[in-house]
Structure 1
Amino acid sequence: MSDDSLDIRDGGVIAVDTEQLRLAASVLLGLSTECDVLRSMFETAARELAAHDATAWPAAAFAADLTQLLDALTAEASALAGRLRDAADVYDIVELEAARRAAEGGDRRVTDLLDRRIFAARDRSPTAASRADLLLTTWPLLRHGELQRQIGGAAVPLGLLGGAAVAAGGLALTALGALGLGRATPDRGGSAPPQVVEVTRSAVREAAAPGTLAALAERIPREGDQVRVERYTLAGGERRFAVYVAGTRSPLGFGGREPFDMSSNVQLYAGRSSASYESVVSALRAAGARPGDAVLAVGYSQGGAITSRLAVDGPFRVVGNVTFGSPVQADPGEATLQVTVRHTDDLVPALQSGGHPDRAGAAGSIVVERVADPPPGIADVALGAHSIDAYGDTAALADASDDPRVDDVHERIAAFGGDEPAEVTTYRVRRPD
């Protein structure tokens, strides 16, 4: 297991700190100014040396070489500072445009403010606006590059038919992105009544609170029960809950007794509630969670789509949303830490419309990505890159990365659960006969 391809970023697909770019530009301009000062000091010294016969010739020769070097350094520092400022202008516009698209249909005051800021940024630098437009146009076409490369490698034995499949897959993913699917938003289903589910408690025991991403992945149910709830009681009596949600259990099922089926997948992907989502809400209530209680939500695959909906539309106060290989991504707002773990060669998270181009979630939110299975082959049809074990490996690599952003996530996870053992309850959920 190697971490060579591990990529950890701040909360979004495009995560460029434009203030740091401008700070670096200022430092370079400062160096340019210092070069000018050195040049002036040396020219003064060279003139004084030239006034004496013994030092006139070597001073003149050395002065020419050093002046040329300082001029080159000054020009290079100034040019690089300009490029950094230009890049900051470009990414400012990209992030504003991404935020504007995400806010579409929301608070009119927010969209009006974003419109004014976008107009001002574009007016300040038409060149940066053109480059930002190019980035925004090409990003949907390039974001699935690794997945399409592997599909292409696996399809080589199929000849022209394989090439057609690659092209069709790329067009389908681009179309999904254009439709804006794969992002959790408040339920588009209106006031439809909650779907009825049966929730049965299977086991109750105690366990220490988790402290790492790998520990969270390990607690997601693999078989049997679909939902695990941990209840923490902190000093002073405050109750907190962690919920761990499994992935699809019936990939060919539509509306049978198993609520974690393809019917629920389709509903969640379309921005609506589902029987599996109602199962998780019911399990949390059965464990004692009340509206407004703090919840750490952890989900794999369909479970990630469920926890993302819980974060944006649920009755509880979701303070952390950790997803592994989810087909849906949420921007739960500034009060929720968002940790998104996905594989670039996994078809399921590719359905996220590429993810949020701007930062999503509270400060400290991160995206963890890697190529889980680099060599393309026909075995990729089995979706090995989507397995929960592969995501557990990625979580362990992130834990061992020494990245300060991951360390911060560890601290938040540990602080959420506290020092006392949690009461662990697992639940089996079903649709009624």
Structure 2
Amino acid sequence: MSDDLSVSGGGMHRVTTAEIGGYSAQLRQLSEEVASCRMLLDRVDRVVTGEDIVMANLPYSAALAEGAIDEARFFLEALVIDGQMLAGLLDTAASGYGLAEAMTQSMLRELAGRQAYGLGALMSSVPAIGGLFLLGAGVSVAGFAALAAIDQGSLVARWLEMNREVLNDPRTVELVRLGVMSVDDFGGGLLGLPSELVAFLGSDQIAVTGLAGTATVLTAGARAVGLLREGPVAATRMSKSRIDATAPSAVPAGFADRAARIPPSPQQIRIDRYEVTGEPDRFEVYIAGTKDFSPVTGEDPWDLTSNLGLVSGSELAGSTRALVQAMADAGVTAETPVMLTGHSQGAMLAMAVAGSGDYDVRGVLTLGGPTGQMDSPDVPVLKVEHAGDLVIAAGGLEKSTTAVIVTRDLFANTTVPLGTLLPSHDLSRYQQTAALIDGSGEAHVTAVGKSFDSFTRGAVSVETSTWQARRISEDATATR
């Protein structure tokens, strides 16, 4: 697997590799150390001057030493200037690449939108073709949603397995991203709306349609035929333990440690409560990914129904309500500092909670989350993405410039492994990528990491609880 990382965001249009970012940081550190050496030489030089050497009739070697100090000072000053200049050039190159990337993405988004609008207009003018197209799209969506239930030995499963390289190809991911962002354009053309109006309604300033609007319409249509229906949920504490904060691995050290704390099935939530002397308790919340992809709403609220609810921006998603309940039961309030880490649907939940404004969120770490069109909170946010992760594409294009995004092309130098359709989305592989990020040394990543690690500073004890959420029937609710 490829270990190459690329870093973007961080408040500017900037794309660089972690290797280049590490070089830039090392050059700046080297310049600072060289500047410190030069200051030491300045102090030595001020003790004995050339005039003192002549007046005291000191040996010739003293005069040579004085000249050597002057030469060394000049050389060190040149090193400081060169180091800072090279680091600046590396940053400039990264910024130029980022601007070019942003411009290219904007042009592709506009082109895809126009093509989708034109296709929708064509479908509306030829009803028979439009009907067949919509029928085929409906069958495709239903089939994709039911992938989790497909028998691994079936013809469809074998075909998908044979084409796993395509499913995990970064080019496929980018095409799906553009397709997701263009669904509203297609709908506008199909309805015969003016293209200018469609573009206006889908703009970031208005956002009446867009990805959230599409998810809302899709959910409403599915519920009309008995699918994707929400209901009451309950989160139950499954375990609780307390240890001293000084014990080994009691507190997370880096992104890999946090990724490793995302709970395994069947629990969906882990909450660590840190007691800090003289300060309010603080919490770290770890949230698992989707457990059930069926469009038929089941017992587990970490499902397709909640996924679409989160994409549409609804606070009524079952997993959202279960998470909020678990946090409240664990002691999280609007005043207690909290950090959030999530994978897949858990990433969407983390961003939704952070963006709600209901909590004192101090940072967010997402792994493989379709969060591109979700609002990014004004706190340190690190998003970890695999270039071939098709699930991320479902969230559309990334609109935040403040979040630091680390991308890894997981299978750039090897074949996609057998055994799972979307290995690029596996939590275990994201945990491996998080470990690489910890050692990257890139300046923006390091800054976010320091902010995260400072969160648990001063903790004296850690209370860990895990939670399992379930949908409950209306009859069970009535008898409680």
Given the alignment of the two structures, is residue 205 of structure 1 paired with residue 241 of structure 2, yes or no?
yes
Alpha carbons 2:170, 2:388 under 8 Å: kept: no
Corresponding residue for residue 370 of structure 1 = 408
Aligned to 1:332: 376
- C-alpha offsets along residues 385-410 of structure 1, whole Å, 9 cap, x if unaligned? 10000000100001111223333223
Query: Which AA in structure 2 matches 1:320?
Result: G
* Distance in 2 (alpha carbons) for counterparts of 1:292 and 1:432: 30
User: Structure 1 residue aligned with 2:467, among 416, 422, 427?
Assistant: 427
Deviation at 1:288, TM superposition (A): 0.6
Unaligned runs of 5+ in 1: 18-80, 96-131, 143-153
Q: Is the 8 A contact 2:344 2:370 kept in 1?
A: yes
1:277 lines up with 2:317 in the alignment: no
The 1-side partners of 2:161 and 2:293 are apart by 27
Where 2:382 maps in the other structure, the secondary structure is strand
Alpha-carbon distance between aligned partners in 1 of 2:449 and 2:328, rounded to the nearest angstrom: 27
Give the Cα–Cα distance (whole angstroms) in 2 for the partners of residues 318 and 239 of structure 1.
Answer: 13
Pairs aligned (count): 301
Residue number in structure 2 paired with 1:233: 275
Aligned twin of 2:262:
220
Q: Which runs of 5+ in 2 are unaligned?
A: 17-88, 113-158, 185-201, 203-208, 218-229, 244-249, 474-480
Cα shift at 1:220: 0.2
Alpha-carbon distance in structure 2 between the residues aligned to 1:408 and 1:167 = 31
Instruction: Name the SS of the counterpart of 1:285 in structure 2.
Output: helix
TM-aligned CA deviation for residue 198 of structure 1 = 1.1
- List per-residue Cα deviations over 1:404-428 (Å, max 9, x = no partner): 3333223222211124332111111
Quick check: 1:173 aligned with 2:177? yes
How high is the TM-score relative to the length of structure 2? Answer: 0.55
Distance across 2 between alignment mates of 1:337 and 1:166 = 26
Cα drift, residue 15 of structure 1: 2.3
Match of 2:287 among 245, 252, 262: 245
Identity %: 28
What is residue 137 of structure 1 aligned with on the other side? 107
1:344–1:350 CA contact under 8 A, matched in 2? no
Residue 346 (structure 1) aligned with residue 389 (structure 2): yes
Do the aligned partners of 2:289 and 2:342 also contact (CA within 8 Å) in 1?
yes
Which whole-Å CA distance do the structure 1 matches of 2:260 and 2:110 have between them?
33
* SS of equivalent to 1:428: strand
Show the 5 A alignment for 1:406-421.
406-420=445-459, 421=461
Please state whether the residue corresponding to 1:297 is helix, strand or coil. Answer: strand
Q: Is the 8 A contact 1:247 1:302 kept in 2?
A: yes
| TM-fit CA distance, 1:234 | 1.6
Aligned to 1:116: none
TM-score (normalizing by structure 1): 0.60
Query: How far does residue 372 in structure 1 lie from its aligned partner after superposition?
Result: 1.5
Does structure 2 retain, via aligned residues, the 8 Å contact 1:182–1:327?
A: no
Deviations 1:189-213 (A, max 9, x none): 9xxxx96321111111135221210
Give 1:155 shift.
8.3
Report deviation, 1:292.
Answer: 3.4
Task: Please list, as runs of the form range in 1=range in 2, the aligned pairs for 1:9-408 lying within 5 A after superposition.
Answer: 9-11=8-10, 14-15=13-14, 91=99, 136-138=106-108, 172-178=176-182, 179=184, 196-206=232-242, 208-252=250-294, 254-273=296-315, 274-313=317-356, 315-329=358-372, 330-334=374-378, 336-356=379-399, 358-361=400-403, 366-374=404-412, 375-376=414-415, 379=418, 382-408=421-447
Distance 1:298 1:182 in 2: 26
Deviation for aligned residue 1:332: 2.8
Give the alignment's Cα RMSD to 1 decimal.
3.9
